Structure 1
């Protein structure tokens, strides 16, 4: 008996889609025929769990060209057969809401993040940046012509920044955390950028604090603000030998989010699986991906520093998986020879919408 695959019952088709946890599978599914495309659109519209758990993908170099990048899936353990065009060998200094920011020839900006997606909020988004080798802060709102700057005197050396409950938070390599409100320049035409703000210090650096070259701020699924500190193993000649371990802390803040009440070190991530590296740090649900991913995991990619152009012998490719509960390591995307001398892979969450 010949089966009419194009007109399978919608219940059966939805069962297939529920097993397809990656957006790429939904796109391929919807490309089969008009009926499957309609079912895929309806499933995407009503499947809130799927929309709220978009799995980050690793944007890696392509073996064909320095201007190309490919996407690697940690669930499927495969590189997808399509390519993205970049500008020469420029390094991405941030990935936020599916947007990429690249470093220019002067390497002025080292990190950028967005408050919301400019596509859905074209008049109400904010860009926050960490710039220069001193790691100082600035931000600009849609429609503004100049940046508003944060005072540099005692506030520099920042390496990550995020938006959380109406405030901007930034952290440095010694886990100092500051926050500030988005009070924009009073003179939008001030071309000299003289408008500067003093941030609120949430967590001061203590004298005995251990240096962490990579520290991240991430919003948990429970709506909490977490700090993830990453420590590196170094040999006697100061050669970077890769990630040694991670410490994850929950920031218990007051109602205004300006004062730290308690800093709680976490021994487990609960339902959170974290993705950290260049770009916005992301948390996804372990229970939603229970058939594919384990709990208590941190997936990490490398970061690039000007003062260490060749960390992790001959290229920034310290990639792996860290289990917070068991303090153990595993691999995801394996190093390939053509990665050498290329900018580091970064996590991206490609925007997904079925027309």
Structure 2
């Protein structure tokens, strides 16, 4: 019988196609031959649950990650992320804001990185003092805002049109500032281009079939027009808020679900401390060509992952420990109160029986700076 280390490249490479990320690294640590195979894989990786990107470890400054499938934490030394706030995740890449109000786009598993220009609306902010001085006058005085409290309000969400490793002509789009205005950047641009918008706050962005779409309050949908003066153009109909009698609409998300655009409304209530608590979700499919919409009561056995990441879906039949018809979500607080700052609403909603459950310990609800963000590891 041949030694395991002498197996041919094709056989070993086929084996790696069944391995999730942690096992992939363990495979590469066996011997020099296997390590070479792990670096040259050609098959796509096995379906896997996303990871949560957590905060820095205060002592080591390592970035903490949580593997949902293993229920296990990992601590990775990624110097580029030291002290940065994560404001987006797309195709396995992270958007991170630094102390100079500029940012980077980085693949945390390969360390490939793009420097981003200063974010629009904050170009003149070069230190914490001037940033806090720019707070709107209607904020209550005496809270003693810190830069860490301001970071989450600079960029609300950021996504990519394509994986930069697959296409160099990708586009990055962000929602920024108090009103979640939109702007885009492409490699080679010296600054972000702000997109003209209607007078309303935006909730989410999606790249779908060659176009960027944005959803605003009242479930209004817009498509981004990239002509001479980029602007948002309303498409489709106004979808009534599908909320419970006691609840209220908290946030809207867009997702490309196997070629269908879905609009997902998160509804809930405020507790005695005025913190937003999620009660459930409504899944809506806008029919843009027919000026109508459908309400989905299940998601075909899939699981959805919503948050500051590009919203993702996974077939639960192919991934162990994944809740069928479950909507996993993370959502950070937007409050600047020292009491509420850092409270994060997260859980998993079962669309079948309309119940809510947890997937992570309650320690994440204690005050902290970074909000959990979903990422699909992409080291290949």
TM-score bracket relative to the smaller structure: 0.7 to 0.9
Match of 1:227 in 2: 263
- Give how far 1:80 is off: 2.0
> Contact 1:274–1:297 (CA<8 Å) still a contact in 2?
yes
TM-score by length of 1: 0.78
Match of 2:53 in 1: 59
Aligned residue runs from structure 1 range 145-224, under 5 A:
145-152=190-197, 154-183=198-227, 185=228, 195-204=229-238, 206=240, 211-220=248-257, 222-224=258-260
Aligned residue runs from structure 1 range 46-195, under 5 A:
46=43, 48=44, 50=45, 53-65=47-59, 67-85=61-79, 89-103=83-97, 104=101, 106=131, 107-122=153-168, 124-152=169-197, 154-183=198-227, 185=228, 195=229
Change (3 A) 1:86 1:245: farther
Q: Does 1:295 align with 2:324?
A: yes
Q: Deviations over 1:185-224 (max 9, x none)?
A: 4xxxxxxxxx34241333336599885222111111x211
Match of 1:246 in 2: 281
- Give how far 1:138 is off: 2.1
CA RMSD in angstroms comes to 3.3
Which of 330, 333, 352 is 2:360 aligned to? 333
Q: Hey, what's the Cα distance between the residues in 2 that align with 1:81 and 1:100?
A: 16
> Contact 1:59–1:72 (CA<8 Å) still a contact in 2?
yes
> Contact 1:128–1:138 (CA<8 Å) still a contact in 2?
yes
Q: Hey, what's the Cα distance between the residues in 1 that align with 2:63 and 2:276?
A: 26
Q: Secondary structure of 1:301's partner?
A: strand
Gaps of 5+ in 1: 186-194, 255-259
Q: Secondary structure of 1:302's partner?
A: strand
Q: Hey, what's the Cα distance between the residues in 2 that align with 1:171 and 1:337?
A: 28
Q: Which moved more, 1:99-108 or 1:161-170?
A: 99-108
Match of 1:190 in 2: none
Match of 2:305 in 1: 275
> Contact 2:175–2:182 (CA<8 Å) still a contact in 1?
yes
> Contact 1:72–1:333 (CA<8 Å) still a contact in 2?
no
Match of 1:320 in 2: 347
- Give how far 1:17 is off: 4.8
Q: Hey, what's the Cα distance between the residues in 2 that align with 1:342 and 1:145?
A: 29
- Give how far 1:317 is off: 2.4
- Give how far 1:66 is off: 8.6
> Contact 1:56–1:347 (CA<8 Å) still a contact in 2?
yes
Which of 7, 21, 30 is 1:23 aligned to? 21
> Contact 1:216–1:281 (CA<8 Å) still a contact in 2?
yes
Aligned residue pair count: 325
Gaps of 5+ in 2: 102-127, 132-152
- Give how far 1:344 is off: 1.0
